[in-house]
Amino acid sequence: MATTASRPIWKGMISFGLVSIPVRLFTGAVSKDITFNELAREDHSRLKRVRWSPTLNREITQEEVVKGYEYAKGQYVELTEEDFEKLPVPSKQTITITAFVRSEEIDPVFFETPYALEAEEMGLKPFALFFRALEEKGMVAIGKIAIRKKEQLCAIRVSGGNLFMSTLYYPDELRVDLAKAGPNVDVSEAELKMAEALIDMLTTSFDPEQYKDEYREQLMGLIQAKLEGKEVVSSPEAAPQVMDLMEALRASLAEAERQREAG
C-alpha cells in the first residue's frame, strides 16, 4: 500500500510502555463514489453553495465564520482555533496504548474509519519492533487519539505489510443495542438444518479481490452511453415471488451446489 504519495493528516507518537514511536497518519481508504454537480435546469450552470446570514442579509466569507456550541435555543458559546489547541488532552500528539486484545473480541460494528500508520525515519527501529510484536502475538492495540477536533478510541493492527489504525465508535455513539435478543420467531429443526447446510455450502475464505462495485460500473456505462448519444435500455425487474421457505432453501442449496461444481 503506497501511502507516501499523500500528505499525512496527523503526526505524533505511539506510546508503547516507555517506548515512543514517531509516526505519520494517512487516510487508509478512499471512496470511489461517482460524484455529481448540481446544475440549474434552465442553462446547466453549476450551482454555488453560499454561507448566508439571514440577519446581516449577505454572504459570509470563510474568514468570518466561527464555531459555536448551542447550549440553549439560539444561545452559543464561541470557540476559536486557539481554544481547541489549549485543550489539555494527551492524545492530541500521542496515541497511548492502554490494552491489547484479540481482534475477534471487537465487534465490527465499532469500527469507523481506517488509517495507515508509517514510521518517521528516526523511529524505524521501535516501529518495526512494535509491528513484529503485534504480528507475532496476533493482537490488536487499543488506545486513544485526538483527530479532527475529537478524541476517539482507536485500534492498531497489522494487515499484510501495513500497520493500520481504525478509529472506533464509543458505545454511546452506537444506535443499536448489542445486548438485544434475537427475533422471537419459531423455526423448525428441518428449516434450521437446511439453512446451516446452505451456510456450509457457501463458506469460504474472504477474498476482497472477488468483489467489485457493479453499481458504479453500470452507472459509468450509463454516463458513457449518454456521452456517445446511445439509447439507454433498462432491463426489466423481476417480479417479487412468494415461495415456501423450505422450497426456497432447497432451491438455494441446489444453486449453490451447481455454482460450486462449475467453479
Cβ-contact 222, 235 below 8 angstroms: no
Instruction: Quote the pLDDT of residue 1.
Output: 45
129 lies in some domain? yes
CATH classification of the domain holding 96: 2.40.290.10
Nearest to 149 by CA among 56, 10, 3, 8: 10
Scanning 146-230, the segments in alpha helix (DSSP H) are 189-202, 214-227
State the Cα–Cα distance between residues 243 and 115, nearest whole angstrom: 45
Number of domain units in the chain: 2
95 burial (CB, 10 Å; 0-12 / 13-18 / 19+) is buried
Instruction: Round to whole Å and give the CA distance between 83 and 3.
Output: 32
Could you tell me which residues are beta bridge partners of residue 75? 72
* Whether residue 144 is found in the same domain as residue 255: no
Mean pLDDT for back-to-back runs of 10 residues, the chain (263 residues): 68 89 91 89 92 94 92 90 80 89 93 94 93 94 88 93 94 88 86 86 82 81 82 63 75 83 76
**Which residue range forms the structural domain that includes residue 204?**
189-262
Shared domain check, 151 and 195: no
Could you tell me if 37 and 152 are in contact, meaning their C-beta atoms sit under 8 angstroms apart? Answer: no
91 and 210 both lie in a single domain:
no
